[in-house]
């Protein structure tokens, strides 16, 4: 299988590409190496992928349609997995235009490539943030997502609608997956786990928002990769729903939650980090940040029905794995 994966220098894209390369597939990895966070971390991820002769690197911005189209034309992908995006709820308050350029224009260009090459499956990442002000829990794919709380969430919800239209118009089998707070080795420095570990190890206070009264459905990266890998082989077909399906009535398109379905309170999460590091945190309690949700909670029944799989790794195991990686990568005790 020849895959085009966007965001392979990113956290999730790196892990997915590594998994597929290990299985013997060929991967064209497209990444812009943007400086949103430490580019050296991105380069280190790509350096590992480039050890495989089946990995081809394409450094370009998705907004550059000519460059993207040329790379895809040379590669001729069977499947596209679109993971690249300008991420981060809080950063969307500071640099909103980056979200329009990357998450809307960039995603549209990927859709055009999928249409041009008639790929057998387009998979595109969304986020639990699209559930926004939804108070129904656990979050189901069939819940309304009409009230996003951040521009980031709004752009990802727009991606879902855009891909549905293209799936309907051009018969592109499309799966949208909504990620729930993915964490693990090689994680992003802007995510809470990285910030907490980095602060504790270096003896700095860590910021705890909403006075710690928050909960997240933390999903370990290996579990997420397993789910995505299985979904690659389950392309939607019109008129073939499974129980509880989000399959469109007019397009080969569906949306699937990928989450463990077990929210963890923020203070419990910090306790797990302290245990893994053998150190205590100095907590700086802060008010709720604009755009944040107090709680996320995935219903992963559809994922289970489609693939026979759902994430299971407990936070204690995942946090310990991240702490081991952090100490090794940064050379700290």
Residue 300 has pLDDT above 90, yes or no: yes
Q: Contact at 8 Å (CB) between 197 and 272?
A: no
Q: What is the pLDDT of residues 143-193, one digit of tens each?
A: 999 889 999 999 999 999 999 999 999 999 999 999 999 999 999 999 999
- Cα 138 to its chain centre, rounded Å, is 19
Mean confidence (pLDDT) of the chain? 95
> Is the bond preceding 138 in cis, omega lying within 30 degrees of 0?
yes
Mean pLDDT score, 92-109 = 92
pTM for the full predicted model: 0.96
What percent of the chain stands above pLDDT 70? 100
Second-level CATH architecture of 2-180+219-259+298-311: 3-Layer(aba) Sandwich (3.40)
Query: What phi-psi label fits residue 48: left (phi over 0), alpha (psi between -120 and 50 degrees) or beta?
Result: alpha
With DSSP H G I counted as helix, E B as strand and the rest as coil, what are the percentages for the chain, rounded to 5?
A: 45, 15, 40
The per-residue pLDDT for range 234-266, each reduced to its tens digit, is: 999 999 899 999 999 999 999 999 999 999 999
Task: Give 36-57 pLDDT, tens digit per residue.
Answer: 999 999 999 999 999 999 999 9
Task: Render the burial of 85-119: b for 16+ CB within 10 Å, e for the rest.
Answer: bbbbbebbeeebebbbbbbbebbbbbbbbbbebeb
Report whether pLDDT(90) > 80: no
Which residues are known catalytic residues?
Answer: 152
pLDDT at 294 over 90: no
Q: Which of 89, 86, 68, 88 is nearest to 77 (CA)?
A: 68
Q: Please say whether the beta carbons of 49 and 14 come within 8 A.
A: yes
């Amino acid at each position: 299988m020849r895959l085009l994966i966007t965001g392979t220098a990113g956290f999730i894209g790196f892990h997915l590409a590594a998994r597929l390369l290990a299985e013997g597939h060929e991967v064209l990895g497209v990444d812009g190496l943007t400086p949103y966070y430490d580019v050296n971390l991105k380069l280190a991820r790509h350096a590992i992928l480039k050890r495989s002769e089946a990995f081809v690197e394409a450094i370009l911005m998705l907004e550059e349609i000519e460059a993207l189209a040329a790379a895809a034309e040379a590669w001729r992908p069977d499947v596209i997995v679109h993971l690249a995006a300008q991420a981060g709820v809080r950063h969307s308050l500071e640099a909103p235009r980056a979200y329009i350029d990357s998450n809307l224009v960039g995603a549209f260009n990927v859709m055009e490539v999928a249409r041009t090459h008639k790929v057998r499956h387009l998979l595109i990442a969304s986020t639990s943030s699209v559930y926004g002000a939804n108070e129904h829990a656990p979050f189901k794919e069939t819940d309304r997502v009409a009230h996003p709380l951040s521009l980031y969430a709004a752009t990802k919800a727009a991606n879902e609608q855009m891909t549905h239209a293209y799936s309907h118009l051009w018969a592109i089998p499309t799966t949208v997956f909504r990620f729930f707070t993915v964490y693990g080795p090689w994680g992003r420095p802007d995510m809470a786990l990285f910030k907490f570990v980095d602060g504790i190890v270096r003896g700095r206070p860590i910021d705890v928002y909403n006075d710690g009264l928050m909960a997240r459905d933390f999903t370990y990266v290996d579990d997420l990769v397993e789910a995505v890998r299985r979904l690659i082989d389950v392309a939607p077909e019109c008129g073939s729903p499974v129980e509880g399906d989000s399959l469109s009535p007019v397009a080969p398109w569906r949306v699937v939650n990928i989450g463990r379905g077990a929210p963890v309170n923020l203070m419990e999460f910090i306790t797990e980090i302290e245990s893994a590091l053998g150190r205590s945190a100095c907590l700086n309690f802060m008010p709720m940040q604009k755009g944040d949700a107090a709680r996320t909670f995935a219903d992963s029944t559809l994922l289970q029905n489609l693939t026979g799989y759902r994430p299971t790794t407990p936070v204690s195991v995942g946090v310990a794995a991240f702490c081991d990686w952090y100490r090794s990568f940064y050379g700290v005790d």
